[in-house]
Amino acid sequence: MPVLDDAIRAIADAALGQLHNSGGHSVTLPGPPGSGSAALEILYAGPAAPYTVPTEMASYETVARQPPDWMGTHRLTLHAPLVVFDMMWSDDEPVRVLGFSRGEWERALVPDADPNGPVWRREQGLKDALLREMLRERGLENVPVFGNETPEIHQTKQNTYAFGGRRRGPVAPEKTHLEDPVAMAEKIKEIGKAAGADLVGITRIRPNMIDLGVDCPYDYVICLLKHEQYHRVLEGPRGVEEETYTVYYHCARIATEVGDYVRSLGWDALPHHNGGTNVQAIPAMYHAGFGELGKHGSLINPQFGASFRPSFVTTSLPMAVDAPLEFGVQDYCLKCNLCSNNCPGEAIPKDFITTDGHRRWLTDMEKCYPYSRLEPDYCHICVDVCPYIHKENRVDEIKGIYKEYMGARRRAGWRSSKGALKSIEAE
């Protein structure tokens, strides 16, 4: 059984000490050195806070096998500008590390993550503590791009959000039982593709696939993929916005249709999309066989690269599950530096850590957010320059668009690795 990292345990024990000093279940302190006036918030849930956390940490396999509704006796959460730190345990049990956001603190605390250790997760949107702090420093209440939309984009977003009201629906009183879970999986994939999905994958739900603190009474997650049109996202920030929200609309519609179909079989189902979601996309998509994690932090699919959007449906309908798809992406990323060389914030590192047996290049979000979150337009460059947009699918039209785009970037002075260029030009 792995041992909890000394640095993480020291921080957790210090946090428990602060709770005892305050005499309550929460305390707010000045932030760590270098964080300015930002606060460190400590929260505890349980009968009485202990003085220390267990020295042993539950293995990934243990966490993956535990029921989705597992709750420990003790829960300790730290919120700071650069970290969302969450752990749970019971007396005489190892600690489960539930979440740990990306940022400088992650580099400091888990520089050599155990391959059999937990899967760290990043909070999304305004739940992201670092993003909230960077907005506060700039006097902003929200992400600028959210207020920079055309009437058409606004309407598309409203149409997408409207599907949120259809996440729940009536369930047929009689359950349809199929003896063959493979046949059921094939039927679900058929329904998903008929609704417009480009790919459909199915996996069993693991704890790291569901948002922290969310009760998930289901056993499976159906993953649905809709690709972005490459020529549209190359039209500039406005093109990225229009294509992104159009695809998100279709993702919401597809997930809703699949959810309705599953409920018609007598099994409850809950769609997840931009109108409401509780699914952590990357671990779900990986286990459903959509691809591998790339250097830029997005999942890479052999047909669509990283230029796609997902939606999901959680259910307990018995289905055969897919296996992870590994086709050499992570090895290729070791030699290709196109995303890191073309990132305007120089936020994508060349070095990686290993978590759960997978390489992870930890994007420096403090360098990324000024371009991807704090400007009035989207940045999509790391996805656009990834050669997998055409490398595997061999679509000549896309390959031609890609080569023209990369040529324009080189002429504008952006760097390209020699190995990657040779690979591109040889194809």
pLDDT attached to residue 422: 45
List, in order of start, the domains of the chain with CATH numbers: 6-137 (no CATH), 148-315 (3.40.109), 329-426 (no CATH)
The position carrying tokens 């957010």 is 369
Check: CB of residue 26 under 8 Å from CB of residue 43: yes
Q: Give the helix/strand (H/E) hosting 339.
A: helix 338-342
CA angle 167, 182, 195 (to 5 degrees): 40
Check: CB of residue 398 under 8 Å from CB of residue 390: yes
Check: CB of residue 40 under 8 Å from CB of residue 29: yes
pLDDT tens string, the chain, 427 residues long: the values are 677 767 677 778 888 888 888 888 888 876 545 444 446 778 898 888 888 888 888 875 666 566 656 778 888 887 765 445 678 888 888 888 766 543 434 333 333 333 333 334 455 666 677 788 888 888 888 888 777 778 888 899 889 989 988 999 999 999 987 779 999 999 999 999 999 999 999 999 988 788 766 778 899 999 999 999 998 988 888 888 899 999 999 999 999 999 999 999 999 999 999 888 889 899 999 999 999 999 998 999 999 999 999 999 999 999 999 999 989 999 999 888 899 999 999 999 888 877 667 788 888 888 998 888 888 777 889 999 999 988 777 778 888 999 888 888 888 888 665 444 444 444 4
Q: Give the helix/strand (H/E) hosting 46.
A: none
Tell me the angle at which helices 237-264 and 181-194 cross, rounded to the nearest 10 degrees: 140
pLDDT attached to residue 108: 38
* pTM > 0.85: no
CB burial class (10 A; 0-12, 13-18, 19+) of residue 397? exposed
